[in-house]
Amino acid sequence: MKKIIALNVNEIPYELAVEPNRSLADVLRYDLGLTGTKKGCGIGDCGVCTVLMGGKPVFSCLVLAVEAQDHDILTIEGVAKGPELHPIQKAFVEKGAIQCGFCTPGMVLNALALLNKNADPTEHDIRLALSGSLCRCTGYQKIVEAVKTAADMMKRSGIIEEEAE
């Protein structure tokens, strides 16, 4: 039987009736039309469905929508505030970190979670933070470069300090 749940997605409150067996990924994609969250395996192996839940990256395919209540959900659609790209997104564009783009939303969100808590990550920190998100196109080289560049951009613009407060 469906349950009425309140979801807070990208700072917008939604009230939805969902079956208990529906994943957060499905509800985001098919009920809310937020198709930037991708589905690549459905069982937590690939990371393309990553969203931030209470600031932490999680596989939205392995979170039941009914369990996502009371948490702030951030999807790729909520990363850029306004028409300007977020510095991480800018860095992905400029550094060529995008090929097929299917892992990109998840990569950006994993990078965002990392940089929000670690303004000055080492290469290993970056590779570790991205290690749950598979990419088959880039060899990760330009993704790692983009995250480094984004960290520099964010430090310069003071974004990291603001969000850390």
Partner 1 sequence: MKEYKILNTRAPRVDANDKVTGKAKYTDDLAMPGMLYGAILHSPQAHAKIISIDTTAAENLTGVFAVITHKDAHKVSFGVSPARYDEYVLAREKVRYVGDEIAAVAAATPEVARQALDLIQVEFEELDPVFDARQAMAEGAPELHEKYQQNIVQQVHWHFGDVEAVRQKADIIRTDSLTSKMQDAAFMEPQCALANYDDRGYLTMYSSTQAPHYVQRTLAMALRIPLHKVRVVKPAVGGGFGPKASCSSMELITCLLAMKTGKPVKTTFDREQVFLHSRARHQFFHKMTTGVQKDGTLVFLEHECTLDGGAYCSFGIATVYYAGSLLGGPYRLENMKYDGYRVVTNKPACGAQRGHGAVIARALFEVQLDRIAEELNMDPIELRLKNVREAGETTCNELYLSSFGMKEALEAVRDSAAWKQKRKDQPRGKGIGAACGFFVSGAGYPIYNSATYHATVITKLSEVGGGVIVESGAADIGQGSDTMLAMITAEVLGIPLDDVKVISGDSDLAVDLGAYSSRTTLMAGAAAKEAAESVKRQILEVVAAKTGAACDDLDIQDAEIVWSKGDLDIDQIRHDHRLEHRNFSGIPLSGRLTFGEASRMAFLERGSIVGTGKYKPPVLGGSFKGAAVGTSPAFGCSAQVAEVTVDLETGEVTVNKITGAHDCGFAINRTQVEGQMEGSIMMGMGEALMEEIKFDDCGRILNANLAEYKIPTSLDVPPLEAIIIESNEPNGPFGAKEVGEGAIMPTIPAILNAIYDATNVRLDELPATPERIRAALRLKDKGK
Partner 2 sequence: MLPQFDIIQPRSLDEACEALTKYQSAGVVVLAGGTDLLVDMRKPLIPEHLPRCKGCDPRTGTAPRKVNKPPSYLIALSRIPEMSGIAVSEPGEISIGAMTTITDLCQSRIIREKLTALAQGADNLGSPLVRNRGTIGGNICNARPAADTFIPAVALGAKLELRSQRGLRLIPAQDFAVGPGKTVREEDEILTKIIFPVSADRTGSSCIKLANRKALEIAVVSAASLLTLDIKGKISSARIALGAVAPTPILTPKAAAFLSGKDPSDANFLKAGEIAVSECHPISDHRGSLDYRREMVSVLVSRSLAAAFASIIV
Applying CB under 8 A, the residues found at the interface with partner 1 are 29, 34-43, 45-46, 48, 75-77, 79-80, 85, 89, 92-96, 98-105, 108, 123, 126-128, 130-144
Contact string (CB under 8 A) for partner 2, positions 67-86, x = contact: x--x----------------
Residue type at 69?
Q
Residue 104 contacts partner 2 per CB under 8 A: no
Residue 20 or residue 70: which is nearer to partner 1 going by CB?
Answer: 20
Residue 57 contacts partner 2 per CB under 8 A: yes
> In DSSP terms, which residues pair with 51 in a beta bridge?
58
Among 12, 120, 131, 157, interactor with partner 2 by CB under 8 A:
131
Residue 67 or residue 94: which is nearer to partner 1 going by CB?
Answer: 94
Contacts of 155 (CB under 8 A, 6+ apart): 119, 120
C-alpha–C-alpha distance, residues 149 and 141, integer Å:
12
Degrees to nearest 5, angle at CA 119 with 130 and 137? 25
- Angle, helix 87-95 to helix 104-117, in steps of 10 degrees: 130
